[in-house]
Amino acid sequence: MRNFADILMDAIDAKGSRLVVGLDPRIEYIPNDLREPSLKAAGHFCGAAAEMILNFNRIVIDIVSPYVPAVKVQVAFYEAFGSPGYRAYEDTCRYAAEKGLIVIGDVKRSDIGSTAHAYARAHLGVTELEDKVVHHGRAHAMTVTPYFGWEGIEPFLYTAVEFNKGLFVMVRSSNATAHEVQGTQDDPDPLFLRVARKVDEWGRDNIGDRGYSAVGAVVGATYPEDIPRLRELMPRALFLLPGYGAQGANPKDLAGAFDADGHGAVVAASRRIIQAHRTPDNQMWEHAIEQAVQEANADLKAHLPALKT
Amino acid sequence: MRNFADILMDAIDAKGSRLVVGLDPRIEYIPNDLREPSLKAAGHFCGAAAEMILNFNRIVIDIVSPYVPAVKVQVAFYEAFGSPGYRAYEDTCRYAAEKGLIVIGDVKRSDIGSTAHAYARAHLGVTELEDKVVHHGRAHAMTVTPYFGWEGIEPFLYTAVEFNKGLFVMVRSSNATAHEVQGTQDDPDPLFLRVARKVDEWGRDNIGDRGYSAVGAVVGATYPEDIPRLRELMPRALFLLPGYGAQGANPKDLAGAFDADGHGAVVAASRRIIQAHRTPDNQMWEHAIEQAVQEANADLKAHLPALKT
pLDDT tens digits, B155-186: 999 999 999 999 999 999 999 999 999 999 99
Within 8 A of B85 by CB-CB distance, chain A residues are 122, 135
Verify whether the Cβ–Cβ distance B49 to A134 is below 8 Å: yes
Q: Is the pLDDT of residue B29 over 70?
A: yes
Helix, strand, coil % over all residues of chain B, rounded to 5 = 50, 20, 35
Q: CA torsion angle for A86, A75, A262, A205 (degrees, to 10)?
A: -80
Q: What is the pLDDT of residue B247?
A: 72
Q: What is the pLDDT of residue B282?
A: 67
Q: CA torsion angle for B242, B192, B154, B94 (degrees, to 10)?
A: -10
> Active-site residue numbers of A?
108
- How many DSSP H helices and E strands does chain A contain? 12, 10
Angle between helices B46-64 and B32-42 (to 10 degrees): 150
Q: Could you tell me the CA-to-CA distances from A76 to A168, A234, A244 in Å, in that order?
A: 17, 28, 20
Residue B168 domain-assigned (yes or no): yes
Q: What is the pLDDT of residue A187?
A: 92
- Whether residue B237 contacts residue B213, with contact meaning beta carbons closer than 8 Å, is answered with yes
* E strand intervals along chain A: 19-23, 70-74, 102-109, 126-129, 132-136, 141-144, 166-172, 215-219, 239-241, 265-269
Verify whether the Cβ–Cβ distance B79 to A119 is below 8 Å: yes
Within 8 A of B145 by CB-CB distance, chain A residues are 110, 145, 147
In total, the C-beta contacts within 8 angstroms joining chain A to chain B are: 204
- Whether residue B109 contacts residue A76, with contact meaning beta carbons closer than 8 Å, is answered with yes
Residue A207 domain-assigned (yes or no): yes
Residue B121 domain-assigned (yes or no): yes
Q: Where are the alpha helices (DSSP H) in A19-81?
A: 32-42, 46-64, 76-79
d(CA A150, CA A168): 14
d(CA A215, CA A204): 8
Number of domains in chain A: 1
Q: What is the pLDDT of residue A300?
A: 96
Q: What is the pLDDT of residue A79?
A: 98
pLDDT tens digits, B111-162: 999 999 999 999 999 999 999 999 999 999 999 999 999 999 999 999 999 9
Q: Calculate how close chain B gets to A307, using CA atoms only, in Å.
A: 31
Which amino acid is present at B138?
A: R
d(CA B164, CA B6): 10
Q: What is the pLDDT of residue A42?
A: 85
Verify whether the Cβ–Cβ distance B85 to A135 is below 8 Å: yes
List Cβ neighbours of B124 (8 Å cut-off, separation of 6 or more): B105, B137, B139, B140, B141, B142, B156, B159, B160, B163, B165
User: DSSP characters for B100-117?
Assistant: T-EEEEEEEE---HHHHH
Residue B307 domain-assigned (yes or no): no
**Terminal C-alpha separation, chain A:** 19
Q: What is the pLDDT of residue A44?
A: 84
- Give me the catalytic one of B108, B132, B165, B301: B108
Residue B26 domain-assigned (yes or no): yes
- Whether residue A222 contacts residue A199, with contact meaning beta carbons closer than 8 Å, is answered with no
- Whether residue A70 contacts residue A102, with contact meaning beta carbons closer than 8 Å, is answered with yes
Q: Calculate how close chain B gets to A220, using CA atoms only, in Å.
A: 11
In terms of residue numbers, what domain contains A254?
4-303
User: DSSP characters for B229-260?
Assistant: HHHHH-TTPPEEE--BSTT-B-GGGGGGGS-T
ipTM (interface pTM)? 0.97
A244 three-state secondary structure: strand
Nearest CA in chain A to B116: A76
Within 8 A of B39 by CB-CB distance, chain A residues are 129-130
Q: What is the pLDDT of residue B170?
A: 98
| B46 CB burial (10 A radius; 0-12, 13-18, 19+) | buried
Cα Rg for chain B, rounded, in angstroms?
A: 19
B301 tagged catalytic: no
| A12 CB burial (10 A radius; 0-12, 13-18, 19+) | buried
Nearest CA in chain B to A106: B111
B167, β-bridge pairs: B142, B215
State the CATH number of the domain containing residue B76.
3.20.20.70
Q: Calculate how close chain A gets to B217, using CA atoms only, in Å.
A: 14
Q: CA torsion angle for A228, A106, B71, B144 (degrees, to 10)?
A: 30
Residue A105 domain-assigned (yes or no): yes
Within 8 A of A132 by CB-CB distance, chain B residues are 44
Verify whether the Cβ–Cβ distance A147 to B114 is below 8 Å: no
Kindly state the helix (H) or strand (E) to which residue B58 belongs, with its residue range: helix B46-64
The confidence band for B277, taking pLDDT boundaries of 50, 70 and 90, is confident
Residues of chain A with pLDDT under 50: none
pLDDT tens digits, A168-209: 999 999 999 999 999 999 998 899 999 999 999 999 999 999
d(CA A168, CA A219): 9
List Cβ neighbours of A157 (8 Å cut-off, separation of 6 or more): A167, A202, A206, A214, A215
Range name among A193-202, B33-42, B116-125, B235-244 with the lowest pLDDT average = B33-42
d(CA B253, CA A198): 32
d(CA A68, CA B16): 58
Single pTM value for the model: 0.97
Q: What is the pLDDT of residue A249?
A: 77
Verify whether the Cβ–Cβ distance B175 to A148 is below 8 Å: yes
Within 8 A of A149 by CB-CB distance, chain B residues are 173, 175, 177-182
Question: A248 phi and psi, to 5 degrees?
Answer: 95, 5
**Residue whose C-alpha is closest to residue B115's, from A173, A265, A38, A113:** A173
**Best A54, A92, A115 residue to mutate vs chain B (most B CBs within 10 Å):** A115
- Whether residue A174 contacts residue B201, with contact meaning beta carbons closer than 8 Å, is answered with no
Residue B60 domain-assigned (yes or no): yes
Verify whether the Cβ–Cβ distance B44 to A130 is below 8 Å: yes
d(CA B22, CA B11): 17
Q: Calculate how close chain B gets to A138, using CA atoms only, in Å.
A: 10
| pLDDT mean across residues, chain B | 95
Nearest beta carbon to residue B134 from set A79, A81, A123: A81
Q: What is the pLDDT of residue A305?
A: 96
- Whether residue B23 contacts residue B274, with contact meaning beta carbons closer than 8 Å, is answered with yes
Residue A308 domain-assigned (yes or no): no
